[in-house]
């Protein structure tokens, strides 16, 4: 029987076990450049089968929160190198999440105070974190169709930067109501033309991005993350038919030979069966996808063991438990107690609540 602790080959990447560290925004970059502390943090967590480094903007216009890292400039590539070296030196594997926030941003974070860009010019009913603290997001500008090839090119260039920085691959962030999901959902995308209307049209940008990234670095080094039932407190209402939209996306991704598909089950960081959300058949999507299937969203140790043993997933991603337990793999294996999370240290700040969580003693 296969267990959570068994190795797995996903595309071109060989993992020592089936436990992934989920991508986690920690806001500890400086001017979009990774800091040395981040190498220590990721290096400490290298016994994960796969680390998915935090969401990182693919261009200056892709940023939506203060002090998140970028993956588009030579300076950023050089500053990520100690991170990937630290993880590889400890025998781990690490990919980076490619991120464009779309309308979840504020002009003060963007070049020359620009308006955020999206599929729509409707403002999201939510806030973001800037130098002035939490503020309502700015009204976006709907991208013109003729701007979308440039956007796809930005993803491609960021993927190239990731490989240059020593990452084993990338995860395309198509979840959590950011840009690619702002195109996917009919609750947000009100466009006409080739990128609006039908499901195929709304999925077009995501599929073009995945195609471009796969061409650039290899499909076997490319993963995709989806969140069919996430609303973030209603700021991004669900699609009118999530099963059809995400079913179509998975069907289109299936033949590409991707490293993995990463499914957030339920409301991100919330219930796995959100109240009021339609029933969603994740298993049907999994059956349609021949590659590695990664699941995430508040799974316990028992849930993770069961998911792999029963075959409902190939890989289980843990988020918050990896923040407070750098040696989470060992703790899961030994059924050891977990350190408590210091929730006040999640976003921004220094080493406290970041690199100072204790390892188990021998
Ligand atoms: C928490 C805070 C800011 C951003 C996501 C990248 O939800 C994020 C994020 C999470 O995917």
The pLDDT, as a whole number, for residue 234 is 82
The β-bridge partners of 18 are none
Token digits of residue 118 = 């999206």
Query: pLDDT per residue over 108-125, tens digit each?
Result: 999 999 999 999 999 999
In a domain, 352, yes or no: no
Q: What is the DSSP letter of 220?
A: G
In a domain, 357, yes or no: no
The pLDDT, as a whole number, for residue 192 is 97
Contact between 70 and 56 under an 8 Å Cβ cutoff? The reply is: yes
Backbone angles phi, psi at 341, to 5 degrees: -85, 135
Q: How far apart are CA 96 and CA 87, in angstroms?
A: 12
The pLDDT, as a whole number, for residue 292 is 98
In a domain, 187, yes or no: yes
C-alpha 161 – ligand 1 centre gap (Å): 21
Report pTM: 0.98
Give the domain range for residue 226: 8-345
Report the phi/psi class of residue 202: left, alpha or beta, with left for phi > 0 and alpha for psi in -120 to 50.
alpha
CA-nearest residue for atom 9, ligand 1, is 25
In a domain, 107, yes or no: yes
* Enclosing H/E stretch for 15: strand 13-15
CATH, residue 220: 3.20.20.70
In a domain, 361, yes or no: no
Query: pLDDT per residue over 27-43, tens digit each?
Result: 999 999 999 999 999 99
Backbone angles phi, psi at 42, to 5 degrees: -70, -40
In a domain, 289, yes or no: yes
In a domain, 353, yes or no: no
Query: pLDDT per residue over 189-217, tens digit each?
Result: 999 999 999 999 999 999 999 999 999 99
CA-nearest residue for atom 7, ligand 1, is 176
Q: Which of 29, 65, 69, 296 to mutate to test the pocket of ligand 1 (most atoms within 8 A of CB)?
A: 65
Query: pLDDT per residue over 299-354, tens digit each?
Result: 999 999 999 999 999 999 999 999 999 999 999 999 999 999 999 999 999 999 99
Query: pLDDT per residue over 251-265, tens digit each?
Result: 999 999 999 999 999
Counting atoms of ligand 1 from 1, which one is nearest the CA of 268? 7
The pLDDT, as a whole number, for residue 237 is 93
Q: Which residues line ligand 1 (CB under 6 A)?
A: 25, 55, 65, 176, 268
Nearest to 328 by CA among 96, 50, 85: 50
In total, how many domains does the chain have? 1
Residue 239: how many CA atoms within 13 Å on its side-chain side?
27
pLDDT beyond 90 at 51: yes
The pLDDT, as a whole number, for residue 235 is 85
The pLDDT, as a whole number, for residue 233 is 82
Q: Residue 67 — very low, low, confident or very high, per pLDDT cuts 50/70/90?
A: very high
In a domain, 356, yes or no: no
């Amino acid at each position: 029987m296969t267990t959570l602790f068994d190795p797995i080959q996903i595309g071109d990447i060989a993992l020592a076990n089936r436990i992934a560290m989920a991508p986690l925004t920690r806001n500890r970059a400086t001017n979009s450049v990774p800091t040395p502390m981040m190498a220590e943090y990721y290096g400490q967590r290298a016994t994960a089968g796969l680390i998915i480094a935090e969401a990182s903007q693919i261009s200056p216009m892709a940023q939506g929160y203060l002090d998140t890292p970028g993956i588009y400039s030579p300076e950023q590539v050089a500053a990520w190198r100690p991170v990937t070296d630290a993880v590889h030196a400890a025998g781990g594997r690490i990919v980076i999440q490619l991120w464009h926030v779309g309308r979840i941003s504020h002009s003060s974070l963007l070049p020359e105070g620009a308006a955020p860009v999206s599929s729509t010019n409707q403002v999201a009913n939510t806030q973001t974190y800037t130098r002035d603290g939490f503020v309502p997001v700015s009204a976006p500008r709907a991208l013109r169709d003729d701007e979308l090839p440039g956007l796809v090119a930005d993803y491609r260039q960021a993927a190239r930067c990731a490989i240059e920085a020593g990452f084993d691959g990338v995860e395309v962030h198509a979840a959590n109501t950011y840009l690619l999901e702002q195109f996917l959902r009919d609750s947000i995308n009100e466009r006409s033309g080739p990128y609006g209307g039908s499901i195929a049209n709304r999925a077009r940008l995501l599929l073009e991005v995945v195609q471009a990234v796969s061409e650039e670095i290899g499909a076997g080094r490319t993963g995709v993350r989806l969140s069919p039932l996430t609303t973030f407190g209603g700021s991004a209402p669900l699609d009118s038919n999530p099963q059809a939209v995400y079913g179509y996306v998975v069907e289109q991704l299936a033949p590409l030979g991707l490293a993995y598909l990463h499914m957030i089950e339920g409301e991100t960081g919330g219930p796995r069966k959100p109240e009021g959300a339609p029933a969603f058949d994740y298993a049907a999507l999994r059956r349609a996808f021949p590659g590695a299937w990664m699941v995430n969203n508040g799974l316990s140790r028992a849930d993770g063991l069961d998911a792999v043993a029963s075959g409902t997933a190939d890989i289980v991603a843990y988020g918050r438990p990896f923040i407070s337990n750098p040696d989470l793999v060992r703790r899961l294996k030994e059924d050891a107690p977990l350190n408590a999370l210091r929730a006040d240290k999640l976003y921004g700040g220094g080493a406290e609540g970041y690199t100072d969580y204790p390892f188990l003693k021998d």
